[in-house]
Amino acid sequence: NKRKERAEGKDKEAAPISGVSIQVDGQKWKASTGKEGKFTLEIPQNSIITFSSVGYETVTIHSGKEKWLEIILKESQSLLPEI
């Protein structure tokens, strides 16, 4: 069974983050959040969804019965090495 998952990616100040990569375990395709940080996907029930974006820590969740998810991405504490 598949379900429609709606969510929004935000930073800790609740500002939307566009271009967050979305990967559903077991699926070959990837998606990303739109300009307002929102997305809608049709995915298998009980999926594991990973959200990632440059400069932020990766977030992995298990989709449940929620009709709306709010994904809060924290800024990454690791710095890129200087070249």
Q: Report pLDDT digits (tens) over 20-32.
A: 999 999 888 888 9
Instruction: Please give, one letter per residue, the 3-state secondary structure of 10-78.
Output: ECCCCCECCCCEEEECCCCCEEECCCCCEEEEEEECCCEEEEECCCECCEEEECCCCCCEEEECCECCC
Report the length, in residues, of the chain. 83
pTM for the model stands at 0.81
Q: Report pLDDT digits (tens) over 38-74.
A: 888 888 888 899 999 999 999 999 887 777 778 888 9
